[in-house]
Amino acid sequence: MSDLFAHDEPLNIAPDACLFKGFLSDEDTVLLADIVAITAISPFRHMVTPGGYPMSAAMSSCGAQGWISDAKGYRYTAIDPLTGNRWPAMPDLFVSLAQNAAERAGFHRFIPDSCLINCYVPGAGMSLHQDRDEPDRRQPIVSFSLGLPVQFQFGGMQRHDPLKTFALEHGDVLVWGGRSRLNYHAVRPVKNGVHPLAGARRFNLTFRCTR
């Protein structure tokens, strides 16, 4: 289990937003095995935006609520529309690590009930957007990175605000909330490469509270 004090001090990237380098380094193999187990139940799929465009990252979810996108819009559901069953349970390790990171970032009593799992292959990315589908935006977003590195862009509350660009690498955790909770952010296309544990993929686990 990651010790709250076992890692270097976080890098502050914006008000109430910080990056923990290598926070997951002791548990990466277990986390990757859990992703395999979850997606054996609820497989990765390429969702479609409300405008009809397929997303380049493949997605799945675990927890009480899963995030989906289709012609009806972006939303959370208790049922995986692909399988017709409830999403797989969120592993205890996922919850404890997300809570530890949130606590270190100054967000107390964070209890995620949804984990969106993104799988990026080389060339896949995510355009500039806000995470605004959650009703209680006092709760932060906690984001895990595993596998290939990526250039992440973090802006302000307006789409045209300047963007900061920095690398997210295997084992990093990014937490943002409070004054930065609705900041725009994007994932630049993943570059070609092979990670020794994850292969030619980047996994991103994004924890949210949907209550």
pLDDT of 203 reads 99
- Whether residue 206 is annotated as binding a ligand: the answer is yes
- Comparing CA positions, the residue from 51, 138, 40 lying closest to residue 62 is 40
- Whether residue 207 is annotated as binding a ligand: the answer is yes
- Say if CB 47 and CB 68 are below 8 A apart: yes
Per residue in 60-85, pLDDT (tens digit) is 999 999 999 999 999 999 999 999 99
- Whether residue 119 is annotated as binding a ligand: the answer is yes
CATH of domain 14-208: 2.60.120.590
Per residue in 178-195, pLDDT (tens digit) is 999 999 999 999 999 999
Q: What is the pTM of this model?
A: 0.95
- Whether residue 86 is annotated as binding a ligand: the answer is no
pLDDT of 7 reads 53
Per residue in 38-62, pLDDT (tens digit) is 999 999 999 999 999 999 999 999 9
DSSP state of 45: B
- Say if CB 150 and CB 202 are below 8 A apart: yes
- Say if CB 180 and CB 210 are below 8 A apart: no
Q: Which residue has the tokens 């529309």?
A: 81
- Strand, helix or coil for residue 101: helix
Q: What percentage of the chain carries pLDDT values higher than 70?
A: 96
- Whether residue 100 is annotated as binding a ligand: the answer is no
- Whether residue 211 is annotated as binding a ligand: the answer is no
Sketch the domain layout of the chain as residue ranges: 14-208
Confidence of residue 1 (pLDDT cuts 50, 70, 90): very low
Q: What percentage of the chain carries pLDDT values higher than 90?
A: 95
- Strand, helix or coil for residue 52: coil
